[in-house]
A and B are shown apart, each in its own frame.
Chain A
Amino acid sequence: MTTAVRAKGAPRTGVDWFLLVMRVGLIAFIVIGLLGFVAQQIDPTNAWATWRHGDEGAARLSWAQFQGLVVTGLSQGAMYGLIALGYSMVYGVLGFINFAHGEVFMIAAFTGFIMSTKFDQAGWWDSGAFIPAMLFTIVVATIVATIVAVVMERVAYRPLRGSPRLIPLITSIGVSFFLQNAVILLFGPGAKGYAPFPDWLDKDRINIWQIGESDTGVPEYLLSVENKKLLVIVVAAISMAGLWYFVERTKTGKAMRAVAEDKEIASLMGIDVDRTIVTTFAVGGAMAGIAGILWGILFKSVIATTGFLPGIKAFTAAVVGGVGNLGGAMAGGVSLGGAEALAPLMVLDPWGIEGPSQLRDAVVFTLLILVLLVKPTGLFGERLSSEDRA
């Protein structure tokens, strides 16, 4: 197969020039924003800040706020990373974007909600039995997510093996639409609140090294992390490590990598390709299941559209990290979460944009475009089979 390799040279056509301007413009926008942020941290009424914000100047970000944003970004990013693993693995093996993967995540979060309310009614949730109840919830949600992912593969995607590239993608959009609306109709359209978590998980924080006090006498710490966010980060790290072990060290993992490289040859080497693909979906689904419960712990409520945006963001994370690259997916998730939390205040606010946090989702999509413009193979490189690289 001959593939068109594009010259890495000077722009030649109008489109090339336009793209160059776009790349440079976006990067300049970000860099100037960051510089403006540094400047307004030093002096909120410097010339740039008064130009962009008016005479009273910009608001300074306190250390407590800043580290709070970082932790929020990290915990959400870890969650995105877990979802991204599913996108990344399926893209690596089958070469299509499983649009409905976000719905698997949503269904897990929903399962968590159902379990938590039922445990609450049984009186387990706020008693000493919370931890076993929670563990049981995680297990059930993961199993449900795995089953949904596997059934999805069997019903919607397997019959389409070998059809033109965009067909499975369109199908997955339909699956996503179906699952989302089925959940709305089955469980109602409103937001569903989890049963309240115990305080030690939901409210308490770990504080490290007091660095001072605010004007109202509230102590300020170098690092102050809510337990739930810490839990999310830890669980995500453990799951990631487990997955890494599974893919790199076990026989099934090797089979997965072989199938990702070349399905035909893998099947000639005695690997059951269908089974391996099912495993891929199952593992991806399980990761999304864990992520769903983490979502429940972080936000304490779930709605049928919960899966959509995190799904797209997770795909973005997978692209940022390099599709097919598992470590990349996790790193992409964390950097995306960080960017989403920090960019509105560190880039958009210095430009004087009002209500920057409204544009959080726009930041994510802009980042996706920027990465694909500057480094289409992602930060850590793609791992795709030869036919998908075209």
Chain B
Amino acid sequence: MSERILDIQNLSVTFGGLHALKDLNFHVDEGEIVGVIGPNGAGKTTFFNMISGMVTPTSGDILFEGESLIGLDPNQVTQRGISRTFQNVRLFANMTILENVMVSQHCRTKQGVWGALFNTPAFKKEEAEIRAHAEKVLGFFGTRLIGYRLEQPASVLSYANRRRLEIARAMATSPRLLLLDEPVAGMNPKESAELTGLIGKLRSEWGFTIVMIEHDMNVVRDVSDRVVCLDHGETLAQGSFDEVSNDPEVIEAYLGRPLEKQK
């Protein structure tokens, strides 16, 4: 039985008179994979920033599992169970791969100064758990991010692996809802096909609900249960991939208006 995990009601935001999002209504059910598409500048990333608490909406409400997220700091949003990746990969480049994933378990752990100072059994146990969980998460991507790589700084990774590490880092916060911002951007077809499969597994094996911004229509088609198309801060269409991709307004937004209609 599906249940609304994320419910967005009349969400608007303006930056100095510019409507980045206008009256957005949108919901995600538990266990769904929703693809968000739309041309550049449609407000997709702003939409993510708003859910994750980095931008405060001008009006409207965001309900996560029935509770409003408005006014929460990004870390509190993550604490509630929403995690995200960034469009322009933003790893902690000088921390090791293992540390990148360990540090994002911060809000799920609680040992403080005393535990660290006296190396209490609880502290040791928690550290071991953090490490085990990190390795488990990294193991999700095969052998790429584990083994000798664990102790290497994130900056030596290839572009595709950096994207994978970003996803791993977001997974490690143990979210219920995962926001992926262009997860396959810059990957070659083979890599993106592989990652598409992994995104499916994120739901089936890890139980995440996923909202994904993506330009690669193959990926969107393959994994999304539902697709939302945004343009100029407004929802153009919602529904299955086929419905949305055949929607005349969507085609218009991507390809432009036919000449005779422009009057």
Contacts and interface: CB of A to CB of B under 8 A. Distances in A.
Establish whether A and B are touching in the complex (CB under 8 Å): yes
B126 to A, nearest CB: 24
Interface string A47-67: 000000000000000000000
B54 A7 contact: no
Interface string A327-358: 00000000000000000000000000000000
B86 interface: yes
A4 interface: yes
A9 interface: yes
Contacts of A10: 71
Contact of B74 (A4, A9, A12): A4
B86 A2 contact: yes
B56 interface: yes
B223 interface: no
A5 B54 contact: yes
Contacts of B72: 12
B49 interface: yes
B45 interface: yes
Interface string A1-18: 111111101101100000
B55 interface: yes
B56 A7 contact: yes
B71 A5 contact: no
Contacts of A6: 56
A12 B88 CA distance: 30
Select the residue from A3, A4, A12, A13 with max chain B CB neighbours within 10 A: A4
Contact of B54 (A2, A9, A12, A13): A2
Interface residues of B, number: 11
A7 to B, nearest CB: 4
Contacts of B54: 2-5
A390 to B, nearest CB: 12
Contact of B71 (A3, A4, A9): A9
A12 B86 contact: no
Contact of B45 (A2, A5, A12, A13): A2
A124 B55 CA distance: 66
Contacts, number: 22
Given A2-B49, A2-B54, A7 B86 contact: no
Contacts of B86: 2
Main secondary structure, interface of A, reads: loop
SS of B interface (majority): loop
B246 to A, nearest CB: 33
A247 B140 CA distance: 57
A10 to B, nearest CB: 8
Nearest to B57: A7
Nearest to A1: B88
Name which of A7, A12, A13 has the most chain B CB atoms within 10 A of its CB. Answer: A7
Nearest to A8: B56
B145 to A, nearest CB: 25
Nearest to A13: B73
Contacts of B71: 7, 9-10, 12
Contacts of B74: 4
A4 B72 CA distance: 12
A3 B90 CA distance: 13
Interface in B56-73: 56, 71-73
A10 B71 CA distance: 9
Contacts of B56: 5-7, 9
A12 B71 CA distance: 8
A95 to B, nearest CB: 20
Interface string A309-332: 000000000000000000000000
A244 to B, nearest CB: 27
A167 to B, nearest CB: 15
Nearest to A7: B56
Nearest to B48: A2
A101 to B, nearest CB: 32
A5 B57 CA distance: 10
Contacts of A12: 71-73
B46 to A, nearest CB: 9
Contacts of A2: 45, 49, 54-55, 86
A217 to B, nearest CB: 63
Contacts of A4: 54, 74
Nearest to A3: B54
B54 to A, nearest CB: 5
Nearest to A4: B54
B45 to A, nearest CB: 7
Interface in A1-41: 1-7, 9-10, 12-13
Contacts of A7: 56, 71
A181 B49 CA distance: 50
6 contacts: A1-B88, A2-B49, A2-B55, A4-B74, A7-B71, A12-B73
Interface of A: 1-7, 9-10, 12-13
Interface of B: 45, 49, 54-56, 71-74, 86, 88
Given A2-B54, A4-B54, 6 more contacts: A2-B45, A2-B55, A5-B55, A5-B56, A7-B56, A7-B71
Closest 6 CB pairs of A and B: A7-B56, A4-B54, A7-B71, A2-B49, A9-B71, A5-B55
